[in-house]
Chains A and B, each alone.
Chain A
Amino acid sequence: MKNPLLKRIPRELKDDLGKYIALFLFLTLTIGFVSGFLVADNSMKKAYDNSFEDYDIENGHFILDKKADNELLDYAENEYNIKIYELFCKDKENPDGHIVRLYLPRTDINRLDVMDGELPSSDGEIVLDRLYAENNDISIGDDYTVDDKTFKVTGLVAFSDYSALFKKNTDMMFDANKFTVAVISENDFNSLSEAGLEYEYAWLNNDTSLNDDDQKELADKIMIDLAGKAAEYDNSITDFVARQDNQAIKFTGDDMGGDAVMIHTLLYIVMVVLSFAFAVTTKSTIEQESKVIGTLRASGYTRTELAAHFLAVPLVVTLLGAIAGNIIGYTGMKFIVADMYYHSYSLPTYKTIWNASAFVSTTVVPLIIIFLINLLIICTSLSHTPLQFIRGELSKSRRKRVIKLPNWKFLSRFRTRVILQNIPAFTTLFVGILFASILLMFGLLFSPLLSHFKDQVVDSKFSNYQYVLKAPVPTSTEGAEKYCVTSLINDKDEEITIYGIQNDSEYVNDKSFEPGSIYLSEGYMEKYGFKKGHTLTLQDKYSKEEFDFKIDDKYDYPASLCIFMNMDDFNTMFGKDKDYFSGYFTNEKITDIDETIIASVITEHDLTVMADQLEDSMGRIFPMFGGFAVLIYILMIYLLAKLIIEKNASSISMIKILGYTDQEVSKLYNRATSMVVIGSMLISIPICSLLIKLIYYTMMLEFSGWLTYWIAPWIYPAMFAIGVVCYLVVSVILLKKIKKIPMSQALKNME
């Protein structure tokens, strides 16, 4: 015979349809989003991983000062069992400040995925990066001008070696708004001026069996050897990037994995919060049905049978939510997530791949979490003897500990009693509110943080223009001040810029640069928690030579991780001539230096590009966090406040008989909830602030560069206001619930 208690399950669901629909929808949305995310993430990651083979992505590249002698290339190919390809490019700056990196059509290495249109078939045609085109509203058929020559856009493509549009490998962030890669015909390429021409060579290893570490080791050998060998041919390496270090290639893959960890964490926290919401409501049902449970236990029902019965509803709802969530994850949500990726990265086309581990994490793991937490709480609730159930003696402390309240007004004492009676429910409510507040703060935090960072960067910039030259040449530009710059790497391969500043600098003038003085940018100090007097060691990326820096103080410069030192000390440390310099700080544009000598010009845009790009690619995610938080607020407040009303239905009915109006009843019961909600928010906000800071610092450690941590002051009242509005929405539903409790209920129970 089937257990007749099973028949209760559909009725239970039907009787409390509102609650279960809310839980089901919440589960469906959460699991749908996570499932969609993981499926899209996995499918795109697969497409990305396969792209190395599918599109013959380089094992590394180097840029030479001059076109390479064939003997040099032959030597490298034979010595290291590699095949080298020319990938010459020209960087051209448009009048609007956008940089276009032009390449010739590729057939053997770093091939393109044509996502729309076709490759140039004749002169005067160009294909652009798809994401750059989207960001700038460029479509196929549009005209695009480079160096005063107008091209027709014939296609939008994904460059396999530029899935993240990093202009330079040392940039903190890619820039898909103002930088693009493009392909034009050979004739067009040759007809453009030589300015910005780079002699780039990329290689593929002939031995495809090498693993990542072996490949990197080989690349390091090539780099050191080639640096010396190039000199024999009167040439030099100006840049060398192994695939493993190439941000334009690797950043996307690294970012994908990181998001999956965050999304899993989010899912599991939501599941734990929901488990408690389920468990607290089930515990309340057990208390309300204690006499029935006592009778069943007295009749011979085992604890296991009853526990299985009370576990069924949470598990059924979770299972249904997981199934529905996976369906919408695979059919709808994955497109939203894929769009998010396509909005950040220039990824090739992907195919949806069935993801068994996503199914496990979105279905099996939530079920296990719900099962374990509910099992624990249900078993604890059922641990009483049958007699205790029959007598309703479920609280061991009920008789012993009656908390004496001060001589407050009746209403205050009544509400306090309601709160004391429902401590488990209110504790769950507090945890839910805390979690929702963290999400909400996360959702609200970044946009003002990025704006603040940009303002800070602009305020603290040294000069309007910061020129980096290929060779030290003089200028007569008024106010131009020489400085030195180089870059080293720390033990996390993170690039640190080292500035040599003149002692009486007009531009870097917050501190004096006496010989021996060394300052770290504030962000650098903050990121690694360095203190004054600490000595840090950095190394040259190519020669691996190490340099020590003893910190005197911090310097207020948030734009990048850098070290400022006296210019003479700089030249001594790096073995340069006494008069050596790398470029100029100036507020005027330099016009008397040949363009080919200028390596780069750092403007305001270069300094804020990281914040701009983050805002652009993450801008869609942050409001989702906020929306999600609002859903959790409403759900948790609704579920737990409803539970308190249901638990006290007989008392509410009785005080209605005594003559209390619905509003007065609401003042007693709902006001207690509102006090807890408001209290929870007030307590949550500072806790959130601390936790978010902790999460932020941990997150930024994994991230190259630093964004100053800043919470806009309006966020705190905004969070509070959002929470209160959510509560007001729920309180309307709760008042209706109170109105529905009939006076006959109290009489029935007394019968």
Chain B
Amino acid sequence: MYLQLDNIKKSYGEGENKNEVLKGITCGVEKGHICVLLGPSGSGKSTLLNIIGGIDSADSGSVIINNEKLESYSDKQLTLYRRKHLGYVFQSYNLIPNLTVRENIEVGAYLSDSPLPIDDLIETLGLTKHQHKIPSQLSGGQQQRTAIGRAIIKNPDILLCDEPTGALDYKTSKEILKLIEEVNQKFGNTIIIVTHNDAIKLMADQVIKFRDGNIRKIEMNTNKVPAAELDW
């Protein structure tokens, strides 16, 4: 397994207010796979994504990526890990308002010694026409494409997407999912998508279903459906 999670536990609060968000998660993801973490709000999937991303820590358990244990990393090493290996996409696009599309993508490129060719990527993202616009001049879908571009330009080993279509309409959501699929096929990154949209599971190689901080089911998808054919 490229990514291995061993008995991850996480809780917030203390005493009576203690809320166990993850109750012992064990699973793994193969390199180059698209993995969908599926579940209702509050089931712990975003928390798990953040632990994988090194921006939150588990109370116990191990995250092993490429045979390296994350919990042994210092703050500095974690930053370096994210810098070298991870790309992040959020539901709210979190673009820098006074930088253009191209410059926002360059913000990601700066972190890599060998970023992908920016013009090709912008073309792949379908943003060539809009590359000199600032975020407020873009639609939600275009902003999310830019955010994906920013995450993917450094060609990360793992792309983490937290509800990437949560703020988008049906059509735009499908375009974004197609883009994620295209990125996976073109660059071979491992992609983990957090969603509560059941339809998205069909495009994944692996689906991990969550309920109340536990894994309800892990499914391997032998008949993947292309994102373009998804419907909900």
Contact = CB atoms under 8 A, between A and B. Distances in A.
A292 B110 contact: no
Nearest to B56: A387
A250 interface: no
Given A299-B111, A300-B82, A385-B55, A11 B98 contact: yes
A191 to B, nearest CB: 84
Contact of B103 (A4, A12, A291, A300): A4
Contacts of B56: 385, 387
A15 B147 CA distance: 23
A153 B115 CA distance: 83
B121 to A, nearest CB: 15
A235 B111 CA distance: 92
B21 interface: no
Contacts of B107: 4-5, 296, 299
Contact of B84 (A7, A11, A300): A300
Contacts of A292: 94-97
Among A5, A298, A387, A748, the most chain B Cβ lie within 10 Å of the Cβ of A298
A289 to B, nearest CB: 8
A300 B83 contact: yes
B57 to A, nearest CB: 9
Contact of A7 (B94, B103, B109, B150): B103
Contacts of A751: 140, 167
B80 interface: yes
A1 B109 contact: yes
Contact of B111 (A289, A291, A300): A300
A553 to B, nearest CB: 70
Interface in B32-62: 50, 53, 55-56
B108 A299 contact: yes
Contacts of A603: none
A4 B106 contact: yes
Contacts of B88: 295, 298-299
A298 B109 contact: no
Nearest to B160: A298
B86 interface: yes
A4 B106 CA distance: 6
Contacts of A15: 98
A300 B140 contact: no
A386 interface: yes
Interface centre among A2, A4, A294, A302 (most CB of B within 10 A): A4
Contacts of B83: 299-302
Nearest to B98: A11
B99 A298 contact: no
Nearest to B108: A299
A70 interface: no
Contacts of A11: 98-99
Contacts of A294: 55, 94
Interface string A333-369: 0000000000000000000000000000000000000
Nearest to A14: B98
A291 B79 contact: no
Interface in A723-751: 748, 751
A8 B98 contact: yes
B28 to A, nearest CB: 23
The majority secondary structure among interface residues of chain A is: helix
A624 B41 CA distance: 64
A7 B80 CA distance: 24
Interface string B63-99: 0000000000000100111111011101010111111
A296 to B, nearest CB: 7
Given A295-B90, A385-B55, A8 B140 contact: no
Contact of A298 (B82, B106, B136): B82
B110 A302 contact: no
Contacts of B103: 4, 7
Interface in A279-298: 289, 291-292, 294-298
> Considering residues B76, B94, B98, B111, which has the most beta carbons from chain A within 10 angstroms of its beta carbon?
B94
A3 interface: yes
Nearest to A303: B79
A676 interface: no
Contacts of A3: 110
Interface residues of A, number: 29
Q: Kindly state the interface size class of chain B when it binds its partner.
A: 35 or more
A12 B56 CA distance: 31
Most chain-B CB neighbours within 10 Å: which of A291, A300, A385, A387? Answer: A300
A297 B50 CA distance: 12
A6 to B, nearest CB: 10
Given A5-B107, A299-B82, A299-B151, A387 B140 contact: no
B86 A387 contact: no
A390 interface: yes
B50 A387 contact: yes
Nearest to B53: A298
A305 to B, nearest CB: 9
Interface in B93-132: 94-99, 103-104, 106-111
A386 B81 CA distance: 14
Nearest to A1: B110
A239 B115 CA distance: 87
A299 B98 contact: no
Given A7-B99, A299-B83, A387 B55 contact: yes
B87 A299 contact: yes
A32 B94 CA distance: 42
A387 B56 CA distance: 7
Contacts of A8: 96, 98-99
Nearest to A301: B111
Nearest to B50: A387
Contacts of A295: 88, 90, 94, 147
Interface in A222-265: none
Nearest to B82: A300
B48 to A, nearest CB: 13
Given A387-B50, A751-B140, A751-B167, A299 B86 contact: yes
Nearest to B80: A300
A302 B76 CA distance: 8
Contacts of B92: 291
Interface string A1-29: 11111011001100100000000000000
A273 B80 CA distance: 37
Nearest to B94: A295
B87 to A, nearest CB: 7
A38 to B, nearest CB: 38
Q: Which of B55, B56, B92, B106 has the most CB of A within 10 A?
A: B55
11 contacts: A8-B96, A8-B99, A11-B99, A12-B98, A292-B97, A294-B94, A298-B53, A299-B108, A300-B79, A385-B56, A751-B167
Given A296-B107, A300-B82, A751-B140, 9 more contacts: A8-B99, A12-B98, A292-B95, A295-B90, A297-B55, A299-B87, A301-B83, A301-B111, A390-B94
In order of increasing CB-CB distance, the 3 nearest A-B pairs are A300-B83, A4-B106, A295-B94
